Amino acid sequence: MNKEQALQAIKQELHANMNGVASAAMRQTEDYRVNFGVELPRIHNISAEFEPDHELAQALWKESVRECRILATILMPTEGFDEELCDIWADDIHTAEIAQLFALNLVRRLPYASRKAFEWIASPESVRQILGYATVCHVLRMGEMNERSADELLDHIAADLQSSQPALQNAAAKTLQIFASCSDINTEKAKKVANHLF
């Protein structure tokens, strides 16, 4: 099966699994140009029918369809997904859901994940910041953060917990919880941030 055949087969599967009620609800809450309302477990089942493939993932991403983009994050191999391409994809993310799934399915497996996370958190764009926080949560779970980076992260969290954007506040709060759960020292540092703000 070539790329075009695989893409066509995926689109047929998505049409067959379309959920009109979920699709309508998502159009009201998220900035999706096109979405079929297919639930995440079904999207993962569809992805299992295909081998990871750079060209197929690129083609899926270019579709600008919710489900195709999620599949792209699952089917993109880490080999060959360099920082330039990562930045191109990140620039093209406009919803919190895709930001979180991009971090979960792909970015956390990249050797430069931590560096990109901090770049994104420092961005003025909230969706990019949410992507950064989602990525840093995975970095924290893997225990890959030094003290200097931890202090920088806490500075960002303290600022973003006071944001007027609920999605960004939530991302910062979740990251603080995960940070605190990593060690007793982190717990004390997180308490100081929370006590200072509240």
Percent of the chain past pLDDT 90, that is, above it, reads 78
| pTM, rounded to two decimals | 0.89
Residues 68 and 101 in one domain: no
Question: Is the pLDDT reported for residue 23 higher than 80?
Answer: no
Residue 127 lies in a domain: yes
Residues 102 and 73 in one domain: no
Instruction: Collect contacts of 123-130 with beta carbons under 8 A, ≥24 apart.
Output: 126/163, 126/165, 126/167, 126/168, 127/93, 127/94, 127/95, 127/96, 127/99, 128/90, 128/93, 128/99, 129/160, 129/168, 129/171, 130/96, 130/99, 130/100, 130/167, 130/168, 130/171
Helix or strand holding residue 140 (H, E): helix 126-141
Question: Under 8 Å CB-to-CB from 84, ≥6 apart: which residues?
Answer: none
Tokens 């995975």: give the residue: 138
> Mean pLDDT, to the nearest integer, of 77-84?
96
Q: What is the mean pLDDT of the chain?
A: 91
CA angle 110/112/118 to nearest 5° reads: 120
Residue 84 lies in a domain: no
Domain end residue (candidates: 77, 109, 130): 77
- Three-state SS at 132: helix
pLDDT at 35: 84
Residue 90 lies in a domain: no
> Mean pLDDT, to the nearest integer, of 169-179?
96
pLDDT band at 198 (very low <50, low <70, confident <90, very high): low
Lowest mean pLDDT among 51-55, 86-90, 193-197: 193-197
pLDDT at 144: 75
Residues 138 and 183 in one domain: yes
**pLDDT, tens only, 37-55:** 899 999 999 999 999 999 9
Residue 87 lies in a domain: no
pLDDT at 37: 85
Residues 127 and 71 in one domain: no
**pLDDT, tens only, 133-146:** 999 999 999 887 88
pLDDT at 21: 58
Domain extent for 48: 1-77
pLDDT at 14: 92
Higher pLDDT, 110 or 31: 110
